Amino acid sequence: MRHLLIIFCFLLTVPMSSCIGENFASQATNGPAYQVADYSEPLLKGVQQKVFQAFVAGSISGNANEMESLDTELEKLYEESGQKLITYWRAYLKFYSSIYYLKMGDEKQSEKEIDLGVKWMKNMKDKNSEDYALLAMLQGFSLQFKGMKVMFMSSNIKDNAKMAVELDPSNPRANYVYASNDFHTPAMYGGGKEAEEYLLKAISLPAQKIENEYLPSWGREEAYEMLIKLYIKAEKWEKAKEHFSAGTEEFPESYTINQLAPKLIGK
């Protein structure tokens, strides 16, 4: 997947098939599964890639028109159908909108965008593993704006990530987000003890149990990138090179993975 290819360029340090009309219990989690309307909805087909493409277009053009247009379409569709899956994708879009505005130097709008995504996901009833994973990811991204509130929010993020894993241990996004929270938690606060285990689990899992263009598939590329970083930090060079090779084989065009190559030269 290439959906984080540009994100980390800006900051530091998202293949599926049809199924509208089905209950996606087999794809989702042990929690309430997603359901979609009993008619074909073109807007939701390939929506994950549409979000990323709108983000890329905005980053190139310097305006958020495509992201705003997609959000308007999703909002209208939600008003018509009330499907929670649409809320998921609107919140996912807000994650990218927040990244976009941060790149543009508008921290106030960036915080507003991510906070709106967090609000929607927090208010969603009967959340499943995918929902908790996205919520925890959004909350984690929002921490950079929260100052002294960070300490009060961190435990809630971990709880949401843990719930995502508990509801569906075979969800790569749940495992990635749980690992990410541990990876970014300072050692003095107990971080760094579980990231490797959960990242290895994330890359061992298929992006989706059943290919479906309406549902999330992100997580594996991000897990590879973070796992390689973890091994580099620990100076476990053979493991870093092993997973770099595997990651670039699966995601040959990944910027986030390929940018780590210089750190492995001569190791």
Residue 32: the pLDDT is: 59
Q: For residue range 177-220, list pLDDT tens digits in order.
A: 999 999 999 898 889 999 999 999 999 999 999 888 999 999 99
Q: Are 113 and 80 in contact (CB under 8 A)?
A: no
First to last CA, the chain: 27
Q: Average pLDDT, stretch 4-15?
A: 38
Question: Using one digit for the tens of pLDDT, what is the confidence trace for 72-125?
Answer: 999 999 999 888 999 999 999 999 999 999 999 999 999 999 999 999 999 999
Neighbours of 192 (CB within 10 A): 17
Contact (CB, 8 A) for 129 and 167: yes
Distance of alpha carbon 4 from the chain centroid: 9
pLDDT at 264 over 50: yes
pLDDT band per the 50, 70, 90 thresholds, residue 8: very low
The predicted pLDDT at position 154 comes to: 84
- Which pLDDT belongs to residue 105? 96
pLDDT at position 69 is: 98
Give the pLDDT confidence of 212-261 residue by residue, as tens digits.
Answer: 899 999 999 999 999 999 999 999 999 999 999 999 999 999 999 999 99
Instruction: Note whether 27 and 209 are within 8 A (CB).
Output: yes
pTM of the model: 0.86
pLDDT tens column, 14-60 = 322 222 333 333 344 445 556 554 446 889 999 999 999 999 999 99
Q: Buried b vs exposed e over 45-81: b needs ≥16 C-beta within 10 Å?
A: bebbbbbbebbbebbeeeebebbeebbeebeebbeee
- Sorted by where each begins, the domain ranges of the chain are 44-125, 127-258
Q: Does domain 127-258 have CATH number 1.25.40.10?
A: yes
